[in-house]
C-alpha cells in the first residue's frame, strides 16, 4: 500500500501524509468500502460486502458494482488489498485517525481526547445502503463510548488534582457528547462551584434537570440532589479545614525579650541618623536567633518617629531577578514624600530597576540605550540619588534581611550605595547568618568591606537564656502557677537551647499535638504531667525540624499543598499563581492563605505570599519527594507563563526558566533563560546574565538554541570583561552628579 492516510473523523478523505489529496477512489461507496475494511480487519465474503453497500440493488447489480469498486480501489491501494473469488481483505491498512485514536485511548488519554470523535464519518452521504448506515451508527456509538470514558477519566483526574478549570473544560466536552450523562454534569457543576462560579453552577443544574426529566422522565440521583443542596446553600463542598484543627492553639505573640544592649546600640544609631549622619548596622547570628525580629522592631520604631523604611530580602537559591532585594526595598519608597525631589535624570536611570516609576512620572524619558560599563555606573548612581532624595525629607532606614543570600550584583550595588550614602541620614541595616557562607561568597566579601567603614556597627545576637525563655513563656501563657511554669520553661530551654524561633515552633507544635491547651476565657495555658514533670519521658519533638515537620504533617491536605507550592515558588508567590497551579479561584486561595498566614507559615504583602521563615521552607522542601517537586516546579513554570504580563515575559523570564528547568521542561528553560539573560544585561548585571546563560546552555535542545546561547555569551563576556578601560561616564546634563569623586566608580 502506498503511503496514504485515511481521515474518518470529519469528512472522510484519503490523502498523502503531507495532506495532498490521494488519487481519487471514485464513487463515495468506494471510500466507504475502504473505511469499512480498515476498521474491520480480516477477510470478508463478497456477499457480506455487497449486502452492506448495495443492499437495495439486485444481486447482479450489486456484484457488478462491487467488482468495479474493487478494481478502482486496487489501483489506489495496490498490494494492500487481497481479493480472492470468495473473499476480500485489507492486509495493509492505511494510516487512519480512528486507529490512532484507539491506540492512544489506553496509553495516552490526553492525546486521544484531542481527536474529533463526535464527527466520525460526518458530511458524507451514502445513499441506498441501509446496512452501511447501520454499521456507521454502531461504530460511532462504540467510539463515542470510548471517547466519553476518556473524557470522564480526564475530568476526574483534574478534579483530584484540584485543577477545576480543566475539569470544567473536560466536563463540557463530555456533555457535548452525551448531554444526558449525570456524572458529567456532576463534575461540571462541582468544578464550576469550586472555581467560584456559583450562579453558573446553579444554571447548569437547572439545565440538566429540565433536560433529563424531559428525556427520561427519571428524577436525578440522591448524590446529585445533595450536591445541588450544598451549592444552593453556598456551602463549600471542600471543607478540609476541620473545626478541631482551627480550634487548636492560640496565636502566639510575644513582646521583644532581652536584647537590651543591642537596643541601646540601635537607639544610638537612630540618634545619629536624626542628626543627619549615616549608619551601617550588621545584625549577625544563627538562623532563628531573632535577627529579623530585632531589625523589624527597630524599623517599626523608626517609622513611628518619622523615618521612611525601605525593606528588601535576600533569597535562597538565586530565585530572584538581579538586584531583587534592592528593587523590593526601593518599591517601598514609591509613596515617600521625597521621591519627587529626585533629579529626573537619575529617576530615569532608576526606571531600569523600577519600571513602576513611569506610572508616577509619565513624562520621564527612556534611559539611554546600549549596554556599557558606564551604564552600570549611571544605574547605581540613579539608585543612590533616589534614596538620597528621600533622605533629604526624612531619615531613611534601608533594611536588607538575609543578606547572606544576596547575589553578587546586589552585593556590588550595596557596596556602592553604602559608600555613596556615607554623608546622608540613611541607615543601612542588614541581617545575616554568616555560618552558611563560603569565605568567598559575595555577601561574605561585602560584609568584610562594610565592617571597616567608619559608620559601621556589628551586633552578634546570642540565643536567649533560660530566664529569658521563661519570660517568653510567662508572658504568652498568662501563667500564674510560677513553679510549674518554670519547670515547663526549663524543659523548653533544655530542648531549644534558647533559640527563640525554635521556642515558638515547639510551642505551636505542642498545641497542635494537644500537649498544651489554652483556656478559652483567660487564655491561660495548661499542660499535662507528661510535659511538666521531668521524670516523665518527653513528649515534645527533639529538634526544630521535627517540630516543624510534625506540625506541617497535621495541616489539612489542601493547605499543605498550597504551602508546598509557596515554598517551591521561592522569592514570591502571587495569589494568581496559586490559583492557576491549584485550579482554584483567587478568592478561595486568599481564604486558604489567610489561614496559613494566621498560623505563621506564610507572610503576606500585597497579595504576594512567601514562607515566614527559611527553616520552615527547608522542612517542607525536604519532605516532598523528588518527583513531586518536579511536578510542582513544572506547574509553577507553566502558570507563570500564563500570568506573566506581556510577551516575552521579561520580568518573569528568570523565574520561569528556573521552574521549567527543575520541572524537566528543558526547551522552555533554555528559551526563558535566554530572555532573562538579555534582561539582566539590560540592567548591567553581567554576572547574573552569565548565570542565566549557563542555565540556557545546560538545557539547549537543538543547534538553534545553542547558537543563540553562544552569541549572547560573547556579548556578555565583552561587557563583563571590560576589554577596554571604561571612559569617564558620559553625562547628558551637568547636574550635581558631575561633582562625584572618581573613587565612587571603583565598586567592583
Ligand X SMILES: Nc1ncnc2c1ncn2[C@@H]1O[C@H](COP(=O)(O)OP(=O)(O)O)[C@@H](O)[C@H]1O
How many Å separate Cα 578 from the centre of its chain?
6
Among residues 54, 48, 38, the alpha carbon closest in space to that of 86 is found at: 48
- Any residues with CB less than 8 A from the CB of 733 and at least 6 apart, and which? 345
599 belongs to the binding site for ligand X (CB under 6 A): no
288 belongs to the binding site for ligand X (CB under 6 A): yes
Indicate the burial class of 118 (C-beta count within 10 angstroms; 0-12, 13-18, 19 or more). Answer: middle
With contacts defined by CB under 6 A, name the span among 239-247, 281-289, 536-544, 569-577 that binds ligand X: 281-289
143 belongs to the binding site for ligand X (CB under 6 A): no
469 belongs to the binding site for ligand X (CB under 6 A): no
Q: Looking at the DSSP assignment, which residues form a beta bridge with residue 87?
A: 45
> CB of 298: closest distance to ligand X in angstroms?
12
Among 152, 184, 186, 292, binds Mg ion (CB under 5 A): 292
Among residues 701, 698, 679, 699, the alpha carbon closest in space to that of 688 is found at: 679
250 belongs to the binding site for ligand X (CB under 6 A): no
Q: Which does 259 bind (CB under 5 to 8 A by kind): Mg ion, ligand X, none?
A: ligand X
433 belongs to the binding site for Mg ion (CB under 5 A): no
The whole-angstrom separation of Cα 747 and Cα 377 is: 9
> CB of 286: closest distance to ligand X in angstroms?
7
313 belongs to the binding site for ligand X (CB under 6 A): no
> CB of 476: closest distance to Mg ion in angstroms?
20
Among residues 29, 1, 28, 26, the alpha carbon closest in space to that of 16 is found at: 1
419 belongs to the binding site for ligand X (CB under 6 A): no
Among residues 249, 316, 296, the alpha carbon closest in space to that of 515 is found at: 249
Complex with Mg ion: residue 437 or 590, whichever CB lies closer: 437
- Any residues with CB less than 8 A from the CB of 42 and at least 6 apart, and which? 89
* β 95-96/5-7 pair status: parallel
Among 293, 582, 633, 649, binds ligand X (CB under 6 A): 293
The whole-angstrom separation of Cα 600 and Cα 134 is: 66
> CB of 374: closest distance to Mg ion in angstroms?
37
Query: Binding mask 607-636 vs ligand X (x if CB under 6 A, - otherwise)?
Result: ------x-----------------------
Q: Which does 635 bind (CB under 5 to 8 A by kind): Mg ion, ligand X, none?
A: none
Indicate the burial class of 583 (C-beta count within 10 angstroms; 0-12, 13-18, 19 or more). Answer: buried
- Any residues with CB less than 8 A from the CB of 355 and at least 6 apart, and which? none
Complex with ligand X: residue 294 or 446, whichever CB lies closer: 294
The whole-angstrom separation of Cα 362 and Cα 383 is: 18
509 belongs to the binding site for ligand X (CB under 6 A): no
Q: Which does 258 bind (CB under 5 to 8 A by kind): Mg ion, ligand X, none?
A: ligand X
Query: Binding mask 1-40 vs Mg ion (x if CB under 5 A, - otherwise)?
Result: ----------------------------------------
With contacts defined by CB under 5 A, name the span among 35-43, 82-90, 288-296, 553-561 that binds Mg ion: 288-296
DSSP category for residue 333:
T
With CB atoms as reference, the residue minimizing the distance to Mg ion is: 292
Complex with ligand X: residue 384 or 510, whichever CB lies closer: 510
> CB of 279: closest distance to ligand X in angstroms?
20
The whole-angstrom separation of Cα 633 and Cα 626 is: 11
> CB of 285: closest distance to ligand X in angstroms?
6
- Any residues with CB less than 8 A from the CB of 127 and at least 6 apart, and which? none
Footprint of ligand X on this chain (CB under 6 A)? 254, 256-259, 285, 287-293, 431, 472, 500-501, 504, 613
Footprint of Mg ion on this chain (CB under 5 A)? 292
Amino acid at each position: 500500500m502506498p503511503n496514504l492516510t485515511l481521515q474518518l473523523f470529519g469528512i472522510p478523505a484519503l490523502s498523502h501524509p503531507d495532506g495532498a489529496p490521494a488519487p481519487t477512489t471514485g464513487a463515495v461507496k468506494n471510500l466507504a468500502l475502504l473505511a469499512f475494511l480498515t476498521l474491520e480487519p480480516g477477510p470478508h465474503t463478497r456477499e457480506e460486502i455487497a449486502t452492506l453497500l448495495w443492499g437495495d440493488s439486485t444481486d447482479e447489480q450489486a456484484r457488478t458494482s462491487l467488482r468495479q469498486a474493487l478494481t478502482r480501489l486496487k489501483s489506489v491501494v495496490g498490494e494492500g488489498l487481497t481479493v480472492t473469488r470468495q473473499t476480500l481483505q485489507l492486509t495493509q491498512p492505511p494510516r487512519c485517525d480512528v486507529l490512532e485514536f484507539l491506540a492512544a485511548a489506553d496509553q495516552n488519554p490526553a492525546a486521544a481526547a484531542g481527536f474529533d470523535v463526535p464527527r466520525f464519518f460526518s458530511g458524507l452521504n451514502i445513499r441506498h445502503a441501509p446496512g452501511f448506515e447501520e454499521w456507521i451508527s454502531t461504530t460511532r456509538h462504540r467510539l463515542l463510548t470510548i471517547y466519553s470514558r476518556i473524557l470522564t477519566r480526564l475530568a476526574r483526574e483534574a478534579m483530584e488534582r484540584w485543577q477545576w478549570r480543566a475539569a470544567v473544560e473536560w466536563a463540557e466536552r463530555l456533555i457535548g457528547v452525551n448531554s444526558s450523562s449525570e456524572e458529567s454534569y456532576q463534575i461540571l457543576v462541582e468544578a464550576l462551584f469550586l472555581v467560584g462560579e456559583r450562579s453558573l453552577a446553579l444554571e447548569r443544574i437547572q439545565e440538566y434537570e429540565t433536560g433529563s426529566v424531559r428525556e427520561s422522565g427519571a428524577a436525578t440521583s440522591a448524590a446529585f440532589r445533595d450536591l445541588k443542596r450544598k451549592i444552593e446553600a453556598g456551602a463549600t463542598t471542600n471543607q478540609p479545614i476541620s473545626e478541631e484543627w482551627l480550634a487548636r492553639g492560640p496565636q502566639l505573640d510575644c513582646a521583644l525579650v532581652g536584647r537590651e544592649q543591642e537596643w541601646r546600640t540601635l537607639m544610638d544609631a537612630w540618634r545619629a541618623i536624626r542628626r543627619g549622619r549615616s549608619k551601617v548596622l550588621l545584625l549577625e547570628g544563627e538562623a532563628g536567633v531573632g535577627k529579623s525580629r530585632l531589625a523589624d522592631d527597630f524599623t517599626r520604631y523608626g517609622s513611628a518617629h518619622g523615618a521612611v523604611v525601605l525593606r528588601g530580602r535576600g533569597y535562597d537559591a538565586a530565585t530572584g531577578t538581579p538586584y531583587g532585594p534592592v528593587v523590593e526595598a526601593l518599591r517601598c519608597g514609591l509613596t515617600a514624600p521625597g521621591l519627587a525631589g529626585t533629579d529626573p535624570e537619575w529617576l530615569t536611570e532608576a526606571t531600569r530597576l523600577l519600571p513602576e516609576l513611569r506610572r508616577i512620572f509619565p513624562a520621564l524619558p527612556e534611559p539611554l540605550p546600549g549596554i556599557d560599563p558606564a551604564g552600570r555606573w549611571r544605574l547605581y548612581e540613579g539608585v543612590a540619588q533616589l534614596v538620597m532624595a528621600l533622605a533629604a525629607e526624612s531619615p531613611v532606614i534601608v533594611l536588607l534581611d538575609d543578606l547572606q543570600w544576596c547575589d553578587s550584583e546586589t552585593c556590588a550595588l550595596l557596596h556602592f550605595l553604602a559608600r555613596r550614602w556615607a554623608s546622608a541620614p540613611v541607615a543601612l541595616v542588614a541581617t545575616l547568618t554568616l555560618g552558611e557562607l563560603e569565605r568567598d561568597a559575595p555577601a561574605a566579601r561585602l560584609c568584610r568591606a562594610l565592617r571597616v567603614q567608619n559608620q559601621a556597627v556589628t551586633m552578634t545576637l546570642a540565643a536567649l537564656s533560660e530566664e529569658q525563655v521563661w519570660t517568653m513563656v510567662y508572658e504568652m501563657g498568662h501563667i500564674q502557677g510560677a513553679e510549674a511554669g518554670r519547670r515547663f520553661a526549663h524543659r523548653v530551654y533544655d530542648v531549644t537551647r534558647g533559640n527563640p524561633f525554635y521556642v515558638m515552633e515547639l510551642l505551636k507544635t505542642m498545641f497542635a499535638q494537644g500537649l498544651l491547651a489554652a483556656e478559652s476565657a483567660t487564655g491561660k495555658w495548661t499542660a499535662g504531667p507528661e510535659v511538666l514533670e521531668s521524670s516523665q519521658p518527653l513528649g515534645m519533638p527533639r529538634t526544630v525540624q521535627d517540630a516543624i515537620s510534625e506540625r506541617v504533617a497535621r495541616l489539612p491536605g489542601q493547605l499543605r499543598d498550597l504551602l508546598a507550592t509557596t515554598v517551591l515558588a521561592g522569592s514570591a508567590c502571587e495569589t494568581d499563581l496559586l490559583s492557576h497551579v491549584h485550579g482554584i479561584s483567587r478568592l478561595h486561595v486568599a481564604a486558604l492563605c489567610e489561614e496559613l498566614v494566621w498560623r505563621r507559615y506564610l507572610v503576606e504583602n500585597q497579595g504576594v505570599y512567601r514562607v515566614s521563615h527559611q527553616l520552615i521552607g527547608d522542612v517542607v522542601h525536604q519532605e516532598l519527594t523528588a518527583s513531586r517537586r518536579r511536578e510542582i516546579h513544572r506547574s509553577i513554570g507553566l502558570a507563570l507563563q500564563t500570568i506573566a504580563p506581556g510577551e516575552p515575559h521579561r520580568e518573569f523570564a528568570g523565574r520561569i526558566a528556573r521552574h521549567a528547568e527543575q520541572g524537566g521542561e528543558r526547551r522552555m528553560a533554555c528559551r526563558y533563560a535566554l530572555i532573562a539573560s538579555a534582561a539582566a544585561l539590560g540592567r548591567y548585571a553581567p554576572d547574573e546574565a552569565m548565570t542565566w546563560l549557563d542555565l540556557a546552555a545546560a538545557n539547549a535542545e537543538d543547534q538553534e538554541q545553542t547558537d543563540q546561547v553562544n552569541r549572547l555569551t560573547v556579548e556578555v563576556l565583552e561587557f563583563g570583561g571590560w576589554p577596554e578601560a571604561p571612559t569617564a561616564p558620559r553625562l547628558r546634563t551637568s547636574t550635581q552628579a558631575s561633582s562625584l569623586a572618581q573613587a565612587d566608580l571603583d565598586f567592583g
